């Protein structure tokens, strides 16, 4: 076995030990296929008010501009699927990924451990860890490294595990054995397109971010939500799982094994009136470690009020 193959196997094994259920590797190079798509999507204002999406266009497409001398992009998937549900079916709905601790914190710790392992076992390696925090096209890299295909809802879908997972990267200046992409298995299915209550999936594989419930409830910082979405939010107050819940590939989803993603019973048992009467004090206490704090108290109250009018 060559040193290249040994290093690659070593990293993949450690990633598994750290709880990542898939690890794929791509050569760090310019994302030629994605460049025109990203440009068109931005020009058509599909990013809504996420102005940060317009920044660092070149860096989004070339990892070598983020990490000097970058040779490999290591893509990692961490499962967050849960079968636990909010007890009050009439309560404002929260996306599964936000049930437990904020994934940014959980994953960053694991990535740092992986980086440390690489430096200890392989030698002096420079690189950076990424979880949603920099201009990295994580789905494009994961697809390139064979961890799935991009579905019609623009989510990455793994043929054995569906799509309820987080994607993270290590971009490093170490050459590794690259994996190749796999084919698209969406076929003629349009379940995600048909189920989206705001018609955010404007055509297969193209999502208008400004119509997406996740965007409206998390990214949009306006004092009021657009009235055109009244009665179309399907009771979602933070994020939305509809296009994943209806995806046939998610019948393969299995419960995650990350204790920090387990929801507190207090959170699951909040009734509709508990959410409506939520105080800033309870919000701060209940969601201090959660991704839900991203909306801030006023943002969450805005969403809940919009649903109940």
175-213 pLDDT, tens per residue?
999 999 999 999 999 999 999 999 999 999 999 999 999
Tell me if 220 is assigned to some domain: no
3-state SS, residue 109: helix
CB neighbour class for 123 (10 Å; exposed up to 12, middle 13-18, buried from 19): exposed
Tell me if 30 is assigned to some domain: yes
291 and 166 in contact (C-beta within 8 Å)? no
Structure tokens at 222: 């306006």
The domain total for the chain is 1
* CA dihedral angle for residue 108, residue 110, residue 111, residue 113, rounded to 10 degrees: 120
48 and 209 in contact (C-beta within 8 Å)? yes
Between 57 and 188, name the one with better pLDDT.
188
- Residues pairing with 303 in the sheet: none
Tell me if 227 is assigned to some domain: no
**Catalytic one of 105, 132, 277, 298:** 132
Tell me if 109 is assigned to some domain: yes
**66 vs 69: CA distance, rounded Å:** 9
Cα-flanking dihedrals φ and ψ of residue 141, to 5°? -70, -40
Cα-flanking dihedrals φ and ψ of residue 238, to 5°? -150, 110
Annotated catalytic residue 132: yes
Cα-flanking dihedrals φ and ψ of residue 245, to 5°? -60, -35
**72 vs 223: CA distance, rounded Å:** 42
Cβ partners under 8 Å of residue 19, min gap 6 = 78, 110, 257, 258
Tell me if 181 is assigned to some domain: no
Pick the range with the lowest mean pLDDT from 98-112, 120-134, 245-259. Answer: 120-134
**114 vs 120: CA distance, rounded Å:** 10
**Mean pLDDT within 38-45:** 67
Between 66 and 42, name the one with better pLDDT.
66
CB neighbour class for 108 (10 Å; exposed up to 12, middle 13-18, buried from 19): middle
Tell me if 51 is assigned to some domain: yes
Pick the range with the lowest mean pLDDT from 44-58, 248-262, 284-298. Answer: 44-58
**Domain range enclosing 7:** 3-172
Tell me if 67 is assigned to some domain: yes
**75 vs 139: CA distance, rounded Å:** 9
pLDDT in tens, 218-243: 999 999 999 999 999 999 999 999 99
pTM above 0.75, yes or no: yes
Tell me if 64 is assigned to some domain: yes
**Mean pLDDT within 275-298:** 94
Q: What is the CATH number of the domain that holds 108?
A: 3.40.109
């Amino acid at each position: 076995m060559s040193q290249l193959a040994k290093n690659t196997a070593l990293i993949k094994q450690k990633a598994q030990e750290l709880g990542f259920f898939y690890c794929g590797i791509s050569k760090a190079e310019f994302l030629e296929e994605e460049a025109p798509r990203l440009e068109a999507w931005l020009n058509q204002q599909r990013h809504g008010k996420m102005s940060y999406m317009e920044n660092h266009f070149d860096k989004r497409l070339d990892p070598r501009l983020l990490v000097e001398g970058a040779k490999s992009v290591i893509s990692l998937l961490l499962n967050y699927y849960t079968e636990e549900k909010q007890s009050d079916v009439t309560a404002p709905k929260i996306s599964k990924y936000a049930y437990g601790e904020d994934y940014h914190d959980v994953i960053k710790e694991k990535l740092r451990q992986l980086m440390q392992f690489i430096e200890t076992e392989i030698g002096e390696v420079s690189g950076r860890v990424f979880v949603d925090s920099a201009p990295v096209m994580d789905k494009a890299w994961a697809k390139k490294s064979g961890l799935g295909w991009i579905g019609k809802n623009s989510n990455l879908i793994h043929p054995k595990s569906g799509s309820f997972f987080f994607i993270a990267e290590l971009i490093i200046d170490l050459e590794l054995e690259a994996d190749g992409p796999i084919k698209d298995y969406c076929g003629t299915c349009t379940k995600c397109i048909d189920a989206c209550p705001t018609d955010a999936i404007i055509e297969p594989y193209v999502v208008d971010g400004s119509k997406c419930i996740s965007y409206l409830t998390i990214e949009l910082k306006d004092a009021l939500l657009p009235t055109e979405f009244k009665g179309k939010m399907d009771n979602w107050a933070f994020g939305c799982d509809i296009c994943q819940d209806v995806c046939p590939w998610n019948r393969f989803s299995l419960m995650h094994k990350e204790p920090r993603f387990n929801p507190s019973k207090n959170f699951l048992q909040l009734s509709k009136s508990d959410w409506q009467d939520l105080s800033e004090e309870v919000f701060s206490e209940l969601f201090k470690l959660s991704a839900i704090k991203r909306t801030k108290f006023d943002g969450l109250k805005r969403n809940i009020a919009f649903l109940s009018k």
